[in-house]
Amino acid sequence: MDAPTGIVAPAQLAYLQRMLDFVVSFTEKAGFDLKRIREIELCVEEALVNIFNYAYPTATGEVELTLLPGPENTLEIRIQDRGTPFDIFSVQEPDLDADIEERRIGGLGIFLVRRLMDRVEYRRDGDRNILSLFAKLPPPREPSGG
Amino acid sequence: MEVEKRMDGDVLIVSVRGRIDAVTAPEFEKRLMESIGAGEKAVLLTMEHLEYISSAGLRSILAIAKILKTKEEKLVFADLRGPVKDVFKISGFGSIFTIFDTEAEALRQL
């Protein structure tokens, strides 16, 4: 895969579709199958919406999404904001066995991210939240012709 | 995201197509809320043409399910496809809700 490529946008729901389109378009070109593209799209949505909802409670801010080659033949989707510290691993997993009345509304998005991505990392660097989602790259396509 | 509704006996059938994401989930929830209370005893959500659902959509479904539960109405699902089916499975919705393979099968059982 080539050099890092990215997109910066205000951390607002109005920019969700644009950012998802960017990721979908890239993963299509990278040769991911449709199922995996949908899963990656879902995880990026969950991560972004979380930032839109919680990162900047009192002011407006930006979110930066970068696609870059990760270790061990992966695609790294790096999502950064300068908002409230938020460690994705601090969120309690939902109780999947609870019935309708007891089932909590919330926590599901992060759970999906942790289940569907091949690896997830979070670090706080200065005033930045840096969330990295890793997806194993598909095997290279057979070269066509000689 | 588009929602179509019709009654079959006392079952309210709601077909949803397109995407239920963080942007469209509030509209989906609103449309569903407006649809219930038409004297139905059960609500059947058919998802043959639903391409994508995120946790925002799951939250809407859970919110509706909680309301229907207080009205002693059933909420069941049919025709889950591809990624939607997987998301239901991973999030445990497959075990808290009854899911039928087809709309016809759901109507036979309700």
What is the ipTM score, two decimals?
0.91
- The Cα B5–Cα B16 span in angstroms is 9
Say whether pLDDT at B81 is over 50.
Answer: yes
User: For residue A145, what pLDDT band results from cuts at 50, 70 and 90?
Assistant: low
- The Cα B45–Cα B68 span in angstroms is 13
Least confident of A93-107, B74-88, B90-104: A93-107
Which CATH superfamily is A5-136 part of? Histidine kinase-like ATPase, C-terminal domain (3.30.565.10)
Say whether pLDDT at A144 is over 80.
Answer: no
Tell me what the pLDDT averaged over chain B comes to: 95
Say whether pLDDT at B58 is over 50.
Answer: yes
Would you list the domain boundaries of chain A? 5-136
The shortest CB-CB distance from A16 to any of B23, B63, B87 is to B23
pLDDT score recorded for residue A96: 77
Cα A141 to Cα A4, A33, A77, A134: the distances in Å are 21, 12, 22, 20
Mean pLDDT over residues A77-104, rounded? 85
Contact A99, B93 (CB under 8 A): no
Q: Is A130 helix (H, G, I), strand (E, B) or coil?
A: strand
Q: Is A106 helix (H, G, I), strand (E, B) or coil?
A: coil
CB-defined contacts A:B, below 8 A: 68
User: For residue A146, what pLDDT band results from cuts at 50, 70 and 90?
Assistant: very low
pLDDT score recorded for residue A88: 86
Q: Does B91 touch chain A (CB under 8 A)?
A: yes
Say whether pLDDT at A97 is over 80.
Answer: no
pLDDT score recorded for residue A105: 65
User: Tokens in use for A40?
Assistant: 């990656």
- The Cα A30–Cα A15 span in angstroms is 23
The shortest CB-CB distance from A105 to any of B51, B63, B86 is to B63
Range of the domain at B27: 2-109
CATH label of the domain that carries residue B43: 3.30.750.24
pLDDT score recorded for residue B38: 85
Residue that the structure tokens 């066995």 belong to:
A97
* Total of domains in chain B: 1
